[in-house]
Amino acid sequence: MKWRDLAVIRSSRDGFLVLLDDEGEFGAVLGQLRQKLQSASGFFGGAEVTVDVGRRELNAGESAQLASLLREEHGIALHEVMSGSPEHRRARSEDVVPFHNLPGGGEGGDVARGDPRPAASVTPERPRQREERTLFINRTLRSGQRIHHEGSVVILGDVNPGAEVVAGGDIIVMGAFRGVAHAGARGRAHAVIAATSLAPTQLRIAGYIGRAPDEGAQVRLRPEMALVREGMVVIEPCPGRPLG
């Protein structure tokens, strides 16, 4: 039988992405991850990683094992765990479990749904700087203006050519999008970019980049969204149906 890599570590723009095989026995997968981390002998110490567990759904015990392997044994901060099949990820982006929701992470509470907590409750080794609140912007972004936000971004206005929106989560534009967007900028490949009218210069989702075709790009006057499918940024109509 062909030997398979059960754990792959990749560097991404904002840290490391750990891809775990979703078919093998979880213990074996973790074992291989442990080996890899050990052979790297402290290289990842202090780093921040996102773990993609593929289609596998981690139960509480498995989550705790993973968290403990990374943090206790190697001093690696776990930013988030991504799970679910690619088809499910889009619909279930709320299911992404930020580290502090994991059992053993030291805190309860559903942070992904925006439960504001005072900074004092933060555990010292994992400051909650990545509070994933949604940023609302109530104006048009013009050329040269740039928005950078760790959570999702909602813009009530246009995003003009030459403007740039970078978000850790999704980007939703209630207006015409003509600029550059980077959703899931910390490696969340299931992030989406949606706009009332989508005519972008360039779209980036996690590490995937798509650009407008050189010729014949026609602007459709219906809401559309961009997402990653099979390693490519694709644009689709928004799932909702218009009235009438």
Partner 1 sequence: MGEVLVITSGKGGVGKTTATANLGVGLAAIAGKKVAMVDTDIGLRNLDVVMGLENRIVYDLVDVAEGRCRLRQALIKDKRHEGLSLLPAAQTRDKNAVNPEQMKKICGDLKREFDFVLIDCPAGIEQGFRNAVAGAEKAVVVTTPEVSAVRDADRIIGLMEAEELTDIRLIINRMRPQMVKRGDMMDMNDIQEILSVPILGVVPEDEVIVVSTNRGEPAVTGSRTHAAQAYRNITRRLLGEDVPLMPLEPDGKILHRMRRWLGIGGRQTG
Nearer to partner 1, 94 or 215 (CB): 215
Pick from 21, 150, 158, 224 the residue near partner 1 by CB under 8 A. Answer: 158
DSSP 8-state code for residue 70: I
Please report, in angstroms and rounded to a whole number, the separation of the first and last CA atoms in the chain. Answer: 56
3-state secondary structure of 194: strand
Interface pattern 82-121 for partner 1 (x via CB under 8 A): ----------------------------------------
- Which of these segments, 17-25, 28-36, 76-84, 143-151, binds partner 1 (CB under 8 A)? 143-151
Pull the structure tokens for residue 77: 């901060």
CA separation for the pair 197, 68 (Å, rounded):
45
Nearer to partner 1, 179 or 187 (CB): 179
As measured in angstroms, the least distance from the Cβ of 140 to partner 1 is: 7
CA separation for the pair 57, 89 (Å, rounded):
12
144 binds partner 1 (CB under 8 A): yes
Q: Where are the alpha helices (DSSP H) in the chain?
A: 26-39, 60-68, 74, 86-91
Nearer to partner 1, 152 or 160 (CB): 160
Phi, psi at residue 90, to the nearest 5°?
-65, -50
- Which of these segments, 111-119, 158-166, 180-188, 224-232, binds partner 1 (CB under 8 A)? 158-166
178 binds partner 1 (CB under 8 A): yes
159 binds partner 1 (CB under 8 A): no
Q: Please, which contacts does 132-139 make with residues 24 or more away whose CB atoms are closer than 8 Å?
A: 132/98, 132/168, 132/169, 134/169, 135/167
As measured in angstroms, the least distance from the Cβ of 219 to partner 1 is: 10
**Do the Cβ atoms of 183 and 170 come closer than 8 Å?**
yes
As measured in angstroms, the least distance from the Cβ of 158 to partner 1 is: 7
Nearer to partner 1, 30 or 176 (CB): 176
Binding site for partner 1 (CB under 8 A): 139-145, 158, 160-162, 176, 178
